[in-house]
Amino acid sequence: MEMLLEVHDLVKVFGRARAVDGVSFTIPKGRIVGLLGPNGAGKTTTIHMLLGLITPTAGRIVYFGREFPRHRSACLQRINFASSFNTLQGRISVWENLAVFARLYGLRAPRAKIESLAAYFGVTALLHARYWDLSAGERTRVNLIKALLNDPELILMDEPTAALDPDIADKTLALIEEIRRVSGVSILYTSHDMHEVTRICDDVIILDRGRIFAHDTPLGLTKRIRTATLTLTFDGDRAVVERFLTERGARFRFTHPFSVSIETTEQALPSLIFDVATTGVWITDIDVKKPTLEDVFLTIARGPRRVD
Protein backbone atom coordinates (compact mmCIF):
# COMPACT_ATOMS: atom_id res chain seq x y z
CA MET A 1 0.00 0.00 0.00
CA GLU A 2 1.39 3.40 -1.01
CA MET A 3 2.14 5.63 1.99
CA LEU A 4 1.57 9.33 1.51
CA LEU A 5 2.77 10.28 4.97
CA GLU A 6 5.07 8.49 7.38
CA VAL A 7 5.64 9.92 10.84
CA HIS A 8 8.45 8.38 12.87
CA ASP A 9 8.95 9.02 16.60
CA LEU A 10 7.85 12.62 16.43
CA VAL A 11 8.70 14.57 19.58
CA LYS A 12 8.02 18.17 20.53
CA VAL A 13 9.21 19.57 23.82
CA PHE A 14 8.12 23.02 24.98
CA GLY A 15 10.24 23.87 28.01
CA ARG A 16 9.58 21.03 30.44
CA ALA A 17 6.43 19.82 28.71
CA ARG A 18 6.53 17.03 26.14
CA ALA A 19 3.60 18.12 23.98
CA VAL A 20 4.20 15.28 21.52
CA ASP A 21 6.08 12.26 22.76
CA GLY A 22 7.22 9.68 20.23
CA VAL A 23 4.27 9.68 17.86
CA SER A 24 4.50 7.37 14.84
CA PHE A 25 1.85 6.62 12.24
CA THR A 26 1.30 6.41 8.52
CA ILE A 27 -1.40 7.55 6.15
CA PRO A 28 -1.94 5.26 3.18
CA LYS A 29 -3.27 6.53 -0.10
CA GLY A 30 -7.03 7.03 -0.15
CA ARG A 31 -7.59 6.70 3.62
CA ILE A 32 -9.12 9.17 6.04
CA VAL A 33 -7.33 9.03 9.35
CA GLY A 34 -8.83 10.74 12.36
CA LEU A 35 -6.64 12.33 15.00
CA LEU A 36 -8.54 12.48 18.25
CA GLY A 37 -7.75 13.43 21.76
CA PRO A 38 -8.75 15.62 24.65
CA ASN A 39 -7.57 19.23 24.88
CA GLY A 40 -3.79 19.36 25.26
CA ALA A 41 -3.34 15.86 23.81
CA GLY A 42 -0.96 17.16 21.14
CA LYS A 43 -3.22 17.08 18.06
CA THR A 44 -2.68 20.64 16.89
CA THR A 45 1.04 20.57 17.69
CA THR A 46 1.31 17.40 15.61
CA ILE A 47 -0.56 19.00 12.70
CA HIS A 48 1.60 22.13 12.94
CA MET A 49 4.76 20.02 12.81
CA LEU A 50 3.40 18.13 9.81
CA LEU A 51 2.84 21.48 8.10
CA GLY A 52 6.25 22.89 8.96
CA LEU A 53 4.86 25.63 11.19
CA ILE A 54 6.59 24.13 14.23
CA THR A 55 10.04 22.55 14.18
CA PRO A 56 10.01 19.09 15.84
CA THR A 57 12.43 18.43 18.68
CA ALA A 58 13.06 14.95 17.25
CA GLY A 59 11.61 12.50 14.79
CA ARG A 60 11.09 12.25 11.05
CA ILE A 61 8.29 13.29 8.74
CA VAL A 62 8.26 11.77 5.26
CA TYR A 63 5.77 12.81 2.57
CA PHE A 64 5.60 10.78 -0.63
CA GLY A 65 8.93 9.19 0.25
CA ARG A 66 10.67 12.57 0.65
CA GLU A 67 12.03 13.96 3.90
CA PHE A 68 10.21 16.96 5.30
CA PRO A 69 11.19 19.76 5.79
CA ARG A 70 14.29 19.20 3.65
CA HIS A 71 12.00 18.98 0.60
CA ARG A 72 9.50 21.42 2.10
CA SER A 73 8.21 23.16 -1.02
CA ALA A 74 7.99 19.94 -3.05
CA CYS A 75 6.02 18.24 -0.26
CA LEU A 76 3.72 21.19 0.43
CA GLN A 77 2.96 21.44 -3.28
CA ARG A 78 1.19 18.06 -3.03
CA ILE A 79 -0.69 18.59 0.21
CA ASN A 80 -3.06 21.24 1.57
CA PHE A 81 -4.63 22.36 4.78
CA ALA A 82 -8.09 23.40 5.97
CA SER A 83 -8.97 24.61 9.42
CA SER A 84 -11.80 26.48 11.00
CA PHE A 85 -9.19 28.41 12.98
CA ASN A 86 -7.48 29.85 9.90
CA THR A 87 -9.43 32.09 7.61
CA LEU A 88 -8.55 33.93 4.43
CA GLN A 89 -7.97 37.66 4.01
CA GLY A 90 -11.19 39.34 5.10
CA ARG A 91 -10.92 42.59 3.15
CA ILE A 92 -10.49 41.06 -0.26
CA SER A 93 -12.97 39.04 -2.29
CA VAL A 94 -13.27 35.28 -2.40
CA TRP A 95 -11.99 35.35 -5.98
CA GLU A 96 -8.98 37.49 -5.05
CA ASN A 97 -8.13 35.22 -2.13
CA LEU A 98 -8.31 32.13 -4.29
CA ALA A 99 -6.30 33.82 -7.06
CA VAL A 100 -3.52 34.50 -4.54
CA PHE A 101 -3.39 30.85 -3.47
CA ALA A 102 -3.61 29.69 -7.07
CA ARG A 103 -0.39 31.63 -7.70
CA LEU A 104 1.24 30.29 -4.54
CA TYR A 105 0.56 26.76 -5.76
CA GLY A 106 1.70 27.64 -9.28
CA LEU A 107 -1.57 26.83 -11.05
CA ARG A 108 -1.35 27.24 -14.80
CA ALA A 109 -5.06 27.91 -15.39
CA PRO A 110 -6.34 29.40 -12.15
CA ARG A 111 -9.52 30.92 -13.55
CA ALA A 112 -10.89 27.63 -14.84
CA LYS A 113 -9.92 25.82 -11.64
CA ILE A 114 -11.48 28.40 -9.34
CA GLU A 115 -14.66 28.55 -11.39
CA SER A 116 -15.08 24.79 -11.51
CA LEU A 117 -14.49 24.39 -7.77
CA ALA A 118 -16.78 27.33 -6.99
CA ALA A 119 -19.51 25.72 -9.08
CA TYR A 120 -18.93 22.37 -7.38
CA PHE A 121 -19.24 23.92 -3.92
CA GLY A 122 -22.11 26.19 -4.91
CA VAL A 123 -20.36 29.48 -4.21
CA THR A 124 -20.15 30.92 -7.72
CA ALA A 125 -22.43 33.78 -6.71
CA LEU A 126 -20.10 34.60 -3.82
CA LEU A 127 -16.86 34.81 -5.77
CA HIS A 128 -16.87 38.60 -5.80
CA ALA A 129 -18.13 39.02 -2.25
CA ARG A 130 -15.66 40.07 0.41
CA TYR A 131 -14.54 37.10 2.46
CA TRP A 132 -15.54 38.66 5.79
CA ASP A 133 -19.09 39.20 4.52
CA LEU A 134 -19.58 35.42 4.22
CA SER A 135 -21.41 33.27 6.74
CA ALA A 136 -19.51 30.59 8.68
CA GLY A 137 -20.81 27.88 6.36
CA GLU A 138 -19.85 29.82 3.24
CA ARG A 139 -16.38 30.46 4.62
CA THR A 140 -15.94 26.76 5.29
CA ARG A 141 -16.83 25.96 1.69
CA VAL A 142 -14.41 28.61 0.42
CA ASN A 143 -11.70 27.23 2.73
CA LEU A 144 -12.30 23.79 1.23
CA ILE A 145 -11.93 25.27 -2.26
CA LYS A 146 -8.60 26.74 -1.17
CA ALA A 147 -7.64 23.32 0.16
CA LEU A 148 -8.41 21.69 -3.19
CA LEU A 149 -6.88 24.26 -5.53
CA ASN A 150 -3.67 22.30 -6.07
CA ASP A 151 -5.37 18.89 -6.44
CA PRO A 152 -3.70 17.70 -3.25
CA GLU A 153 -3.04 14.05 -2.61
CA LEU A 154 -3.32 14.64 1.14
CA ILE A 155 -5.32 17.24 3.05
CA LEU A 156 -4.71 18.02 6.70
CA MET A 157 -7.95 19.18 8.29
CA ASP A 158 -7.89 20.72 11.74
CA GLU A 159 -11.44 20.70 13.13
CA PRO A 160 -12.94 21.99 9.88
CA THR A 161 -16.48 21.96 11.24
CA ALA A 162 -15.78 23.65 14.57
CA ALA A 163 -18.03 26.67 15.09
CA LEU A 164 -20.52 25.45 12.49
CA ASP A 165 -24.13 24.75 13.35
CA PRO A 166 -25.14 21.07 13.10
CA ASP A 167 -26.86 21.48 9.74
CA ILE A 168 -23.91 23.23 8.08
CA ALA A 169 -21.49 20.82 9.76
CA ASP A 170 -23.46 17.90 8.31
CA LYS A 171 -23.37 19.44 4.83
CA THR A 172 -19.65 20.09 5.18
CA LEU A 173 -19.06 16.46 6.12
CA ALA A 174 -21.08 15.37 3.12
CA LEU A 175 -18.84 17.55 0.96
CA ILE A 176 -15.72 16.00 2.47
CA GLU A 177 -17.11 12.52 1.84
CA GLU A 178 -17.88 13.55 -1.72
CA ILE A 179 -14.38 15.00 -2.23
CA ARG A 180 -12.88 11.75 -1.02
CA ARG A 181 -15.17 9.68 -3.24
CA VAL A 182 -14.47 11.74 -6.36
CA SER A 183 -10.76 12.49 -5.98
CA GLY A 184 -9.54 9.67 -3.76
CA VAL A 185 -7.69 12.19 -1.64
CA SER A 186 -6.28 11.10 1.72
CA ILE A 187 -7.18 13.14 4.76
CA LEU A 188 -5.77 13.57 8.24
CA TYR A 189 -8.75 14.81 10.20
CA THR A 190 -8.75 16.21 13.72
CA SER A 191 -12.00 16.74 15.52
CA HIS A 192 -13.64 16.64 18.91
CA ASP A 193 -16.86 15.39 17.38
CA MET A 194 -17.01 11.63 17.70
CA HIS A 195 -19.97 11.28 15.34
CA GLU A 196 -18.00 13.01 12.61
CA VAL A 197 -15.01 10.79 13.12
CA THR A 198 -17.12 7.64 13.20
CA ARG A 199 -18.84 8.76 10.03
CA ILE A 200 -15.91 9.66 7.83
CA CYS A 201 -12.71 8.11 9.19
CA ASP A 202 -11.29 4.75 8.15
CA ASP A 203 -8.78 4.76 10.99
CA VAL A 204 -8.61 6.65 14.23
CA ILE A 205 -5.55 7.63 16.23
CA ILE A 206 -6.26 8.65 19.78
CA LEU A 207 -3.67 10.89 21.34
CA ASP A 208 -3.40 11.40 25.04
CA ARG A 209 -0.74 13.51 26.73
CA GLY A 210 1.34 13.57 23.58
CA ARG A 211 1.33 9.82 23.00
CA ILE A 212 -0.67 7.55 20.77
CA PHE A 213 -3.05 5.81 23.09
CA ALA A 214 -4.88 3.78 20.51
CA HIS A 215 -4.82 3.34 16.74
CA ASP A 216 -7.57 1.30 15.17
CA THR A 217 -10.69 1.47 13.05
CA PRO A 218 -13.66 3.22 14.70
CA LEU A 219 -15.33 -0.19 15.16
CA GLY A 220 -12.16 -1.71 16.56
CA LEU A 221 -11.89 1.07 19.10
CA THR A 222 -15.47 0.77 20.30
CA LYS A 223 -14.96 -2.96 20.74
CA ARG A 224 -12.27 -2.17 23.29
CA ILE A 225 -14.98 -1.12 25.68
CA ARG A 226 -16.78 -4.39 26.35
CA THR A 227 -19.67 -3.01 28.32
CA ALA A 228 -23.08 -2.28 26.88
CA THR A 229 -26.15 -0.79 28.47
CA LEU A 230 -29.35 -2.86 28.30
CA THR A 231 -32.59 -1.07 29.08
CA LEU A 232 -35.60 -3.32 29.69
CA THR A 233 -39.14 -2.05 30.01
CA PHE A 234 -41.45 -4.61 31.58
CA ASP A 235 -44.94 -5.29 32.84
CA GLY A 236 -44.82 -7.07 36.23
CA ASP A 237 -43.49 -6.89 39.75
CA ARG A 238 -40.57 -4.50 40.06
CA ALA A 239 -39.40 -6.15 43.30
CA VAL A 240 -38.92 -9.47 41.50
CA VAL A 241 -36.68 -7.89 38.87
CA GLU A 242 -34.77 -5.94 41.50
CA ARG A 243 -34.19 -9.07 43.60
CA PHE A 244 -33.11 -11.09 40.57
CA LEU A 245 -30.58 -8.49 39.43
CA THR A 246 -29.22 -8.00 42.96
CA GLU A 247 -28.72 -11.77 43.41
CA ARG A 248 -26.98 -11.87 40.05
CA GLY A 249 -24.62 -9.08 41.16
CA ALA A 250 -25.58 -6.86 38.23
CA ARG A 251 -25.05 -3.09 38.14
CA PHE A 252 -28.42 -1.56 37.42
CA ARG A 253 -30.72 1.36 38.13
CA PHE A 254 -34.41 1.94 37.59
CA THR A 255 -35.02 4.88 35.29
CA HIS A 256 -38.77 4.42 35.68
CA PRO A 257 -40.82 2.10 37.95
CA PHE A 258 -41.02 -0.37 35.08
CA SER A 259 -37.83 0.39 33.23
CA VAL A 260 -34.37 -0.75 34.31
CA SER A 261 -30.93 0.00 32.82
CA ILE A 262 -28.38 -2.77 33.32
CA GLU A 263 -24.65 -2.51 32.67
CA THR A 264 -23.45 -5.69 31.04
CA THR A 265 -21.22 -7.01 28.31
CA GLU A 266 -22.19 -7.57 24.69
CA GLN A 267 -21.64 -11.32 25.06
CA ALA A 268 -23.90 -11.56 28.12
CA LEU A 269 -26.82 -9.70 26.53
CA PRO A 270 -28.89 -12.68 25.20
CA SER A 271 -28.69 -14.74 28.39
CA LEU A 272 -29.46 -11.72 30.58
CA ILE A 273 -32.62 -10.91 28.62
CA PHE A 274 -33.66 -14.57 28.75
CA ASP A 275 -33.02 -14.84 32.49
CA VAL A 276 -35.01 -11.70 33.28
CA ALA A 277 -37.88 -13.09 31.23
CA THR A 278 -37.83 -16.30 33.29
CA THR A 279 -38.63 -14.33 36.47
CA GLY A 280 -42.20 -14.07 35.19
CA VAL A 281 -42.26 -10.39 34.16
CA TRP A 282 -43.44 -9.50 30.67
CA ILE A 283 -40.70 -7.63 28.75
CA THR A 284 -42.37 -5.02 26.59
CA ASP A 285 -39.34 -3.18 25.21
CA ILE A 286 -35.62 -3.85 24.81
CA ASP A 287 -33.03 -1.18 24.11
CA VAL A 288 -29.30 -1.87 23.81
CA LYS A 289 -26.80 0.95 23.85
CA LYS A 290 -23.44 -0.18 22.56
CA PRO A 291 -20.29 1.84 23.28
CA THR A 292 -19.54 4.59 20.81
CA LEU A 293 -16.29 6.26 19.89
CA GLU A 294 -17.39 9.02 22.23
CA ASP A 295 -17.35 6.52 25.09
CA VAL A 296 -13.82 5.54 24.15
CA PHE A 297 -12.81 9.17 23.97
CA LEU A 298 -14.41 10.02 27.30
CA THR A 299 -12.87 6.97 28.92
CA ILE A 300 -9.46 8.11 27.75
CA ALA A 301 -10.07 11.70 28.71
CA ARG A 302 -11.06 10.64 32.22
CA GLY A 303 -8.41 7.99 32.75
CA PRO A 304 -6.54 5.79 30.31
CA ARG A 305 -6.47 2.66 32.43
CA ARG A 306 -10.19 2.19 32.05
CA VAL A 307 -9.91 1.18 28.43
CA ASP A 308 -8.95 -2.38 27.71
Partner 1 sequence: MSTDRIAGVLLQEVYITRRSLEVIVDLFYTSAVTVVVFGFVSRFLVGVTHQNAGSYLILGLLLWEVIRVNQYSLTVGSLWNIWSHNLSNMFVAPLTVTEYVVAHLLSALLKTFVIFCGISAVAAWGFHFDILRLGVLNVALFFANLTVFAWSVGLVLLGVIFQVGTRIQALAWGMIFLFQPLTAAFFPVTALPPVVRAVAYALPPTYVFEAARRALDVPGVNWTSIGIASAENLVYLAAAVGAFSWMVARSRRSGRLARAEG
Q: Which residues bind partner 1 (CB under 8 A)?
A: 12, 14, 45, 48, 51-55, 72-74, 76-77, 80-81, 83, 85-91, 101, 104-106, 146, 156
Q: How far is the CB of 135 from partner 1 (least distance, A)?
A: 17
- Three-class SS of residue 243? helix
Q: How far is the CB of 45 from partner 1 (least distance, A)?
A: 7
Residue 87 vs 198, nearer CB to partner 1: 87
Which of 20, 15, 107, 105 lies closest to 59, judged by CA?
20
Residue 51 vs 245, nearer CB to partner 1: 51
Residue 12 vs 31, nearer CB to partner 1: 12
- In terms of Cβ atoms closer than 10 Å to its own Cβ (0-12, 13-18, 19+), residue 124 is middle
Which of 189, 221, 224, 208 lies closest to 301, judged by CA?
208
What is the per-residue DSSP string for 104-121? HTT-SSHHHHHHHHHHHT
Q: How far is the CB of 71 from partner 1 (least distance, A)?
A: 10
Q: How many CA atoms lie within 13 A of 270 on its CB side?
A: 1
Residue 61 vs 156, nearer CB to partner 1: 156
H-run or E-run covering 92: none
Q: How far is the CB of 178 from partner 1 (least distance, A)?
A: 23
Which of 112, 116, 103, 162 lies closest to 136, judged by CA?
162
Q: How far is the CB of 198 from partner 1 (least distance, A)?
A: 27
Residue 74 vs 109, nearer CB to partner 1: 74
Sheet with 251-256: list strands edge to edge.
251-256, 259-265, 227-235, 282-289
